[in-house]
């Protein structure tokens, strides 16, 4: 397999649910990542630690073979403060509301008339199933603060830094030497 190909086996957490297995009345799923899964997700996401990852999803059939997934993921992540480099812990809560629909057959177009996907288009339902573990992982990653700070941490430049004299400092120095001032 080429290096750039990605498949579901690369994701650290899998809980695959087939649309056909969801009752017409819907279903609730609670997922709790075990220690091994949390460690793998923490490595993938660049976290110091991931002490808790849970997801609560309500699944309901939608239209002709679609699936609506609503719910919330909750996690406790360990990161390092970007200012002090001290360890800190952040709580992540992310709401999920996605609609999966079977992918429409590819239309024979010349490429120019192909419809561009829009932000509110349903997610493609591939193989009639949704991987809730991967979904929870993706929403966790979206909720991670990329620049975590401890409360009250303020960046102060080192005292020994001189302010930049600007792009013409060397020219000013030459003029000063020439004029003798």
Q: What is the mean pLDDT of residues 74-88?
A: 94
From the list 145, 156, 13, the residue with the least C-alpha distance to 91 is 145
pLDDT tens for residues 82-122?
999 999 999 999 999 999 999 776 554 445 555 677 777 89
From the list 127, 124, 132, the residue with the least C-alpha distance to 73 is 132
The mean of the pLDDT values for the chain is: 85
Cα 93 to Cα 84: distance, rounded to the nearest angstrom? 25
């Amino acid at each position: 397999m080429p290096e750039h190909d990605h498949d579901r086996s690369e994701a650290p957490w899998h809980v695959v649910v087939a649309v056909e297995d969801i009752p017409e009345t819907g279903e609730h799923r609670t997922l709790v990542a075990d220690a091994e899964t949390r460690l793998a997700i923490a490595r993938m996401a660049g976290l110091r630690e991931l002490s808790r990852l849970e997801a609560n999803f309500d699944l309901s059939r939608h239209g002709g073979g679609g699936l609506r997934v609503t719910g919330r993921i909750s996690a406790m992540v360990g990161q390092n403060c970007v200012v002090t480099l001290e360890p800190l812990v952040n709580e992540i809560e992310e709401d999920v509301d996605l609609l999966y629909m079977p992918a429409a057959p590819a239309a024979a177009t010349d490429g120019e008339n192909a419809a561009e996907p829009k932000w509110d288009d349903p997610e493609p339902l591939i193989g009639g199933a949704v991987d809730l573990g991967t979904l929870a992982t993706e929403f966790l990653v979206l909720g991670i603060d990329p620049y975590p700070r401890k409360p009250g941490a303020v960046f102060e430049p080192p005292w020994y830094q001189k302010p930049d004299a600007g792009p013409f400092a060397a020219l000013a120095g030459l003029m000063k030497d020439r004029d003798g001032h």
